[in-house]
Amino acid sequence: MLKLRLRQAAPVALVAMLLLTLSACGLTEYPNTTFHHNTEFNSAVDALFDRLVFWGTIVFVVVEVALVVTIIKFRKRPGGPAAKPIHGNAALEITWTVIPALILVLIAIPTVKTIFETQAEAPAGAIKVEVIGHQWWWEFRYPELGVVTANELYLPVGRTAAFELKTKDVLHSFWIPQMGGKRDLITNKTNHLWFTPSADLPSSAWNGFCAEYCGSSHANMKFRLYTVQPDEFESWARHQASPAVFSATPAPATPVIPAAQVTVADSAASVAAPTAGYAFPKDRLEAEFPHVIPQTPIPAGITFDDALLAGGDPVKGATEGFLLGGCIGCHAISGVPGAVSEIGPNLTHLASRHTIAGGLYRNDAPTLARWIKNARHLKPGSIMNTIGKGEYDPILKTTNTMGLDDRQIADVVAYLMALK
């Protein structure tokens, strides 16, 4: 009775498993899957994968059928003859050596061909992007366009992007699963990678990752890619290449930053919104690409008086905060004299980005304030100094007695949030 039930149940279980497996193939549910044909790179890798699965399936079926048939046909029967040991069967041994060798050749040829194709020089007319890995964030430079940005990469659809992959410190690996890669960033070496986002793609947002263990915040070293229409890209790049624009009111007597770059208002600072270039619309991210929006909660144990943010003074933030508070030691802002350091992310158009801290947090005033106050509390191992006065520095294991208070940090946040 039990035997019969098992026999009936087996096919049902098999069909159920197959259906479950097939249902897992819905691509929309898995926004970070690599099985897409968004680029020629992914198409080539997918074709190779299909071929490997095809041959692997044939081998599996043949081997398993032979195994099951053998087990049943030659099983020990009561009263049957004793098994006879045999030694050597030249025909059989040659067959089971030649067949796997042929299968390996069938796999090796397309594999090596794909490796050479994807390692070849990028086609002419590709847009050049330098990718520089840092512990733990991404720097993106477009040398032909004069753009330097961090953690958010923009590419026009229909045009090949040729990446030069470098690292400032340890090994990292650049990977946007839906576009292709991954490829390592190797110390003292430049690696290359190229792919072309399909011209048919609507403007879209994708996740990028560091795929090589690189220290305590390896898992926090993410980035975003926005594949946008050529005119949107052009608008974005033109704006990103321009110096920081801040305020439109006339300069007072003694500006700390020359008036040509930053025009400082006399009392209540007014920050005019500059003519912004294209940035991927936030509402579209929320509606269509929720998987690219950081969900990391702020760790417990950090407080900030958010009420101060509404009254942040961007002028004081620029002068007393950014310049005198020490930010200038690590961060560049194009157009601000002296702000040229490349240690931390370039902040020229920080407010046009949707994320901060290597894609770990959303870029909004409350988060930015806490980040400035105690970055190392928010991201293990961060080299960004603990700026908040009275904050405990988890790396130095001391309390910062100098630093900026919440009021001053609110001013810096007001300044940075004005850098559209």
Which residues of the shown chain bind ligand CUA in the complex (CB under 6 A)?
133, 136, 172, 210, 212-214, 218, 221
- Min dist. Cβ of residue 171 to ligand CUA (A): 8
Which residue has 């964030």 as its token pair? 137
Of 208, 207, 138, 209, whose CA–CA distance to 167 is shortest?
138
Helix (H) or strand (E) holding 406: helix 406-417
- Min dist. Cβ of residue 218 to ligand CUA (A): 4
Q: Give CA separation, 269 vs 244, 260, 282, in Å.
A: 16, 17, 27
How far is it, in rounded angstroms, from Cα 346 to Cα 332?
A: 5
Other CB atoms within a 10 A radius of the CB of residue 11 amount to 9
- Min dist. Cβ of residue 380 to ligand CUA (A): 13
Residue 226 has φ and ψ, to the nearest 5°, of: -115, 115
- Min dist. Cβ of residue 169 to ligand CUA (A): 9
For β-strands 204-210 and 222-228, DSSP reports them as antiparallel
Residue with smaller CB distance to ligand CUA, 215 or 326: 215
Which residue has 């340890």 as its token pair? 170
Residue with smaller CB distance to ligand CUA, 60 or 213: 213
- Min dist. Cβ of residue 213 to ligand CUA (A): 6
How far is it, in rounded angstroms, from Cα 301 to Cα 305?
A: 13
- Min dist. Cβ of residue 285 to ligand CUA (A): 24
Residue with smaller CB distance to ligand CUA, 96 or 213: 213
How far is it, in rounded angstroms, from Cα 237 to Cα 247?
A: 21
Residue with smaller CB distance to ligand CUA, 172 or 376: 172
Residue with smaller CB distance to ligand CUA, 218 or 239: 218
What are the DSSP calls for 370-404, one per residue? HHHH-HHHHSTT--S---BTT-EETTTTEE-SSSB
Residue with smaller CB distance to ligand CUA, 136 or 371: 136
Residue with smaller CB distance to ligand CUA, 166 or 349: 166
Residue with smaller CB distance to ligand CUA, 141 or 172: 172
Residue with smaller CB distance to ligand CUA, 221 or 265: 221
- Min dist. Cβ of residue 174 to ligand CUA (A): 9
Burial of 37 (0-12, 13-18, 19+ CB in 10 A): middle
Of 167, 156, 166, whose CA–CA distance to 126 is shortest?
156
Residue 250 has φ and ψ, to the nearest 5°, of: -60, 155
- Min dist. Cβ of residue 212 to ligand CUA (A): 5
For β-strands 161-167 and 127-134, DSSP reports them as parallel
Helix (H) or strand (E) holding 233: helix 230-240
- Min dist. Cβ of residue 344 to ligand CUA (A): 16
